[in-house]
């Protein structure tokens, strides 16, 4: 249950997609004055060393964020520029040594009256998360909860301000996570229909992974809600010598109305910069 450590994967191509979408979404949601609550169901350690043992062992950041860092950032789409600016804000100098996870990215964008609830069950990562966030000036805005995020979010929906973003990105190492994601989103939308729900998932040769976005789309459509689905493939499904995740997706319910337009120029750039073989591609669709 506690085998997964995101430190091995920090800054990989899936993080580039996930965190680009997260930044654009939080930026949009904080344009309105009313307070925003961000719920991060699987927060991880929050901050990762790209020159540490975990990242060096996997080398995934070299095929992710570090490829963007080596590009001409002035030519990147605005949302990718925002992403790189966020990553660089946690580093000094040109070399990237630190990588911010989703709770650190969210807290950096929140205003004084906004709140972040970060859930993490892994005991080591939870202690790291609490310690890392505790060093921030804004730590009073942030609550670290050593709980199961799938269940823990229930007590925060609906939030007092009636504005919330829920980010769900489990490891999916446990097959049951796919069903739990669907159950959580179903329950959350009943509790708070107008919330924004963002689900990250791996694209792998497994029926559950294939069905997840389809079922989320059906759920959103039946509820009369808008949705957005973005996928990034960097290589063939066939396992390469180094292995690693070939593709991932982000599915949002009640997304920012301008998110699709923001991603249109960014997705081809991700394919060009992060692609590892001729199978690199993207999809971007919306409805509702």
Provide the residue ranges of all domains of the chain, joining segments of one domain with +: 6-287
Residues of the chain with pLDDT under 70: 1-5, 53-58, 138-139, 239-242
At residue 172's C-alpha, the angle toward residues 169 and 177, to 5°, is 90
This prediction has a pTM of 0.95
Contact 142, 46 (CB under 8 A): no
- Structure tokens given for 67: 């490829």
The top-level CATH class assigned to 6-287 is alpha beta
The pLDDT value given to residue 45: 92
The pLDDT value given to residue 239: 52
Contact 176, 142 (CB under 8 A): no
- Decide: helix, strand or coil at residue 144: strand
Query: Active site includes 15?
Result: no
Q: What is the mean pLDDT of the chain?
A: 93
The pLDDT value given to residue 1: 43
- Structure tokens given for 249: 């997706």
From CA 56, how far away is CA 36, in angstroms rounded?
Answer: 36
Which value, to the nearest 10 degrees, does the dihedral of the CA atoms of residues 197, 202, 206, 207 take? 20
- Decide: helix, strand or coil at residue 33: coil
The pLDDT value given to residue 54: 59
pLDDT digits (tens, 9 = 90+) for 107-154: 999 999 999 999 999 889 999 998 888 887 766 799 999 999 999 999
From CA 27, how far away is CA 248, in angstroms rounded?
Answer: 22
Catalytic residue among 40, 82, 125, 169: 169
Angle between helices 102-109 and 123-134 (to 10 degrees): 20
Residue whose structure tokens are 């009636």: 162
From CA 255, how far away is CA 136, in angstroms rounded?
Answer: 29
């Amino acid at each position: 249950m506690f085998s997964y450590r995101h430190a091995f994967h920090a800054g990989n191509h899936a993080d580039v997609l996930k965190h680009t979408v997260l930044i654009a979404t939080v930026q949009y949601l904080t344009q309105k004055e009313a307070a925003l609550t961000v719920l991060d169901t699987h927060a991880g350690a929050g901050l990762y060393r790209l020159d540490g043992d975990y990242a060096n062992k996997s080398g995934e950041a070299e095929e992710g964020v570090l490829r963007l860092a080596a590009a001409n950032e002035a030519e990147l789409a605005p949302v990718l520029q925002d992403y790189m600016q966020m990553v660089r804000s946690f580093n000094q100098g040109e070399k990237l040594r630190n990588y911010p996870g989703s709770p650190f990215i969210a807290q950096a964008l929140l205003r004084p009256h906004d709140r972040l609830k970060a859930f993490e069950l892994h005991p080591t990562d939870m202690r790291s998360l609490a310690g890392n966030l505790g060093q921030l000036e804004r730590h009073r805005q942030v609550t670290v909860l050593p709980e199961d995020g799938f269940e823990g979010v229930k007590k925060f929906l609906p939030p007092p301000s009636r504005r919330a973003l829920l980010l769900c990105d489990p490891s999916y190492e446990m097959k049951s996570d796919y069903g739990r994601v669907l159950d959580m989103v179903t329950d959350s939308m009943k509790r708070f229909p107008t919330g924004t729900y963002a689900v990250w998932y791996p694209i792998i040769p497994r029926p559950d992974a294939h069905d997840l976005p389809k079922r989320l789309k059906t759920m959103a459509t039946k509820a009369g809600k808008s949705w957005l689905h973005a996928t990034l493939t960097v290589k063939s499904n066939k396992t390469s010598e180094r292995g690693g995740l070939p593709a991932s997706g982000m599915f949002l319910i009640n997304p920012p109305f301008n998110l699709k337009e923001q991603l249109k120029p960014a997705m081809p750039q991700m394919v060009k910069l992060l692609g590892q073989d001729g199978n690199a591609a993207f999809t971007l669709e919306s409805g509702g």
